[in-house]
């Protein structure tokens, strides 16, 4: 627990975070805040440090310098924050930070419902836990999640039968069952149809009503549909931030990213 005072509605706080790989700074004095129930889009050229930033938040990579604080619900009450640089990946997940990688980890031979059931019960022993009875609350929670991720009519279909977009939604649903306060999502729209892309933007906007969502993407139509604050990363720091219109007019952003 850290005593440092950060604004009350801040959920995630990064200050002067630097990560070097063999002297190359993948993150270079990166600082930003994410508010509670904020939806934030992050864009930037390949190599800008977007994935490294997520690695630092999730305890996968330790920064050389800088602070990464998480103002989790229970600690907000006591006025302290959690220093994420001192947690490992499992601890960060347990604190309520869910991360979705590009490649879905849905189990193809199980149905949509079974995948959600597993995510709810924990993955320690999949084949044992799938036969353990589900509580009434658990059942309701899965039903609510199914409708959230728009897969009610696919509940008894095998994971393998889902489209790429539906697999991504299922994976988001699996994360939601852990009740994260912060969801980190890397390039969800890649490989989706236009319709799936817009439905995903709607889904993430809905989800941010109850938790913060940070999404990295290159698809500008998707970013526009998210209709949220955009942050442009370049060479490991924030190059610009604001509305999409605002950053699209920034000459530096055009030079390093949009104009390419």
Ligand X SMILES: Nc1ncnc2c1ncn2[C@@H]1O[C@H](COP(=O)(O)OP(=O)(O)O)[C@@H](O)[C@H]1O
- Contacts to ligand X by CB under 6 A: 21, 26, 44, 46-52
CB-nearer residue toward Mg ion: 50 or 154: 50
Non-local CB neighbours of 259 within 8 Å, separated by 6+ positions: none
CA 192 from chain centre, in angstroms, equals: 18
Choose among Mg ion, ligand X, none what residue 215 binds, the Cβ cut-off being 5 to 8 Å by kind. Answer: none
Q: How far is the CB of 50 from Mg ion (least distance, A)?
A: 5
Between CA 121 and CA 183 the distance in angstroms is 19
Name the closest residue to Mg ion (Cβ): 51
CB-nearer residue toward ligand X: 46 or 78: 46
Minimal CA–CA distance to 182: which of 205, 213, 149, 210? 213
Between CA 204 and CA 213 the distance in angstroms is 7
CB-nearer residue toward ligand X: 55 or 67: 55
CB-nearer residue toward ligand X: 61 or 71: 61
Q: How far is the CB of 237 from ligand X (least distance, A)?
A: 12
Element (H, E) at 41: strand 39-43
CB 200 within 8 A of CB 206: no
Non-local CB neighbours of 206 within 8 Å, separated by 6+ positions: 148
Residues that bind Mg ion (CB under 5 A): 50-51
Q: How far is the CB of 206 from ligand X (least distance, A)?
A: 26
Q: How far is the CB of 254 from ligand X (least distance, A)?
A: 18
Choose among ligand X, Mg ion, none what residue 47 binds, the Cβ cut-off being 5 to 8 Å by kind. Answer: ligand X
């Amino acid at each position: 627990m850290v005593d440092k005072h950060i604004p009350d509605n801040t959920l995630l706080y990064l200050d002067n975070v630097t990560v070097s790989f063999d002297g190359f700074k993948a993150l270079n004095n990166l600082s930003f805040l994410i508010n509670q129930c904020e939806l934030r889009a992050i864009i930037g050229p390949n190599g800008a440090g977007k994935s490294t930033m997520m690695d630092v938040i999730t305890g996968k990579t330790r920064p050389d310098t800088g602070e990464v604080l998480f103002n989790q619900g229970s600690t907000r009450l006591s006025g302290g924050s959690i220093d994420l640089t001192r947690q490992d990946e499992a601890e960060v997940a347990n604190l309520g930070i869910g991360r979705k990688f590009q490649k879905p980890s849905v189990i193809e031979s199980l149905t949509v419902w079974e995948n959600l059931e597993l995510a709810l019960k924990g993955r320690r022993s999949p084949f044992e836990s799938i036969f353990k009875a589900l509580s009434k609350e658990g059942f309701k929670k899965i039903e609510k999640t199914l409708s959230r991720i728009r897969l009610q009519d696919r509940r008894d279909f095998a994971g393998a039968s889902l489209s790429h977009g539906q697999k991504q939604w299922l994976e988001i649903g699996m994360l939601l069952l852990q009740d994260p306060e912060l969801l980190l999502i890397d390039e969800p729209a890649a490989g989706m149809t236009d319709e799936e892309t817009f439905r995903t933007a709607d889904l993430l906007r809905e989800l941010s009503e109850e938790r913060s969502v940070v999404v990295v993407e290159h698809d500008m139509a998707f970013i526009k549909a998210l209709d949220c604050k955009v942050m442009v990363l370049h060479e490991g720091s924030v190059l610009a931030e604001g509305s999409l219109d605002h950053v699209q007019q920034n000459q530096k952003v055009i030079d390093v990213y949009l104009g390419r």
